[in-house]
A and B are shown apart, each in its own frame.
Chain A
Amino acid sequence: MPWAALLWIAKIAIASLLGGVIGAISGLGGGIVIVPVLTLFMHIPIKDAIGASIVSVIAVSSGAGSVYVRDHVTNVRVAMFLELSTASGAILGAAVLANFLNADMLKILFGVTLLISLLPIIARMGEELPQGVKSDRLARRLKMQGSYFDQKLGRTIHYQAARVPPAMGIMFIAGLMAGILGIGAGVLKVLAQEMAMRLPVKVSTATSNFMIGVTAAAAAGVYLRRGLVLPYLVVPVAASVLVGALWGTKLMERMSNVLVRKVFAVALGVIGLQMLLGGLHVRI
């Protein structure tokens, strides 16, 4: 038996499982955790880690998606309209911009992105049910207002939407990040929907999840055809991140403790700093 090969796969699988759990509990998602885990702990070149990550982002988004869809919270109109800009950004990032970045630049960009993504954990943005939102003309014409049944509150919530153009801008950047760094960029997507469009948290989380899958598919298409994906690396990574993410989400339902999230935020902060310093060739 090729024990060395099996051991390598097992190690990748365990690291990815942990990455998936931490991604779910911290709320950051799988990709942004798995890339540093693979590069820092498994010594996978960052470009290969990004290729594996973008594919596993699809697995996590689709796996989580079927759960969301059951609750009928996703706003498909918002998702598809914003996706025009996100998918374009992802393809531009993956097909063009990624070519100009070497491993060190990617590590620096990754470290900075990870550190910035931690901000929402420390200071919660968005409101569960935003008050006093008036649909503006564009959002009304685009029929972006909607409603969903809130299980916890036991009633149907009607909501409005606003400021589509700034959301489109943020979404384009989210697409670029997804294409360059192989992440879902869910933090930026939620930012666009909660802060700019002022959608309720549940709607923006579910809608972002749909968009993450489509954006990742656009970027992954480019990565696959460019020969940037290692199939033997992807199998353990994608399967384990998916299982880890579903498991982490279950754990989260039981422990709503904010402290746990903050502990993970600190750990992820250290990892982000390590990526940044690694890219700068600074040793501490």
Chain B
Amino acid sequence: MIPSPPPSSDHATPGALAPAPGPAPADDRPRKSDSLLQDASAWVLRTGVVLSVTVMFVGLLLSFLHHPPTVAHMQDARFSDHLAAIWRGILQGRGEDIIDLGLFLLVLTPIMRVATSVVLFALAERDWFYTLTTLAVLALTLLALLFVH
């Protein structure tokens, strides 16, 4: 969902004033590694979007310079399923394959953010349950991208 400023509620009392059930209050404090995790995530997201959109535009430009597509072709050309063929096209500077590379990078962007979270749950937090959970999410998304046909 797109960020939208939620309405302010000035009358609210802090949740911290209510008796905290269960865990020690220390558990409620922001963890330093959480910050680190989120800074790394922000970098991954920004880099991924900028890089993939740039690659897509370069591909579009090359495609119009070398083999200008017709409207009918644009409404019909599909993401090539042969990753090896895309790679060969990229090496030859074929615009269409470079657009496909940009698409691939864009889909990888949130997946890389999940990967960042795996590393930080494992290394910074040593939280094995969430390391495994996040690894499972990573596996699901990679499975869809690389193996589902």
Contact of A252 among B5, B14, B77, B99 (CB under 8 A): B5
Residues of B within 8 A of A205 (CB): 1, 3-4, 6
In terms of DSSP, what is the predominant structure of the interface of chain B? helix
- Please state if A229 and B110 are interface contacts (CB–CB under 8 Å): no
Q: Closest CB of chain A to B106's CB: distance in Å?
A: 6
- Please state if A72 and B34 are interface contacts (CB–CB under 8 Å): yes
Q: Which of A60, A153, A157, A214 has the most CB of B within 10 A?
A: A214
Interface band, chain A: 35 or more
Residues of A within 8 A of B74 (CB): 5, 8-9, 230, 232-233
Given A23-B2, A160-B15: A242 and B49 interface contact (C-beta under 8 Å): yes
Residues of A within 8 A of B27 (CB): 143, 145
In terms of DSSP, what is the predominant structure of the interface of chain A? helix
A37 within 8 A of B: no
Q: Which residues 1-51 of B have a CB within 8 angstroms of A? A: 1-9, 12-16, 18, 20-23, 27-30, 34-35, 37-39, 41-43, 45-46, 48-49
A65 within 8 A of B: yes
- Please state if B38 and A74 are interface contacts (CB–CB under 8 Å): yes
Q: Closest CB of chain A to B40's CB: distance in Å?
A: 9
- One of A108-116, A130-138, A163-171, A275-283 at the interface: A130-138
- Please state if B140 and A87 are interface contacts (CB–CB under 8 Å): yes
Q: Which residues 226-249 of A have a CB within 8 angstroms of B? A: 226-235, 238-239, 242, 245, 248-249
Q: Closest CB of chain A to B62's CB: distance in Å?
A: 12
> How distant is the Cα of A189 from the Cα of B29 in the complex, in angstroms?
26
Q: Which of B27, B38, B144 has the most CB of A within 10 A?
A: B144
A269 within 8 A of B: no
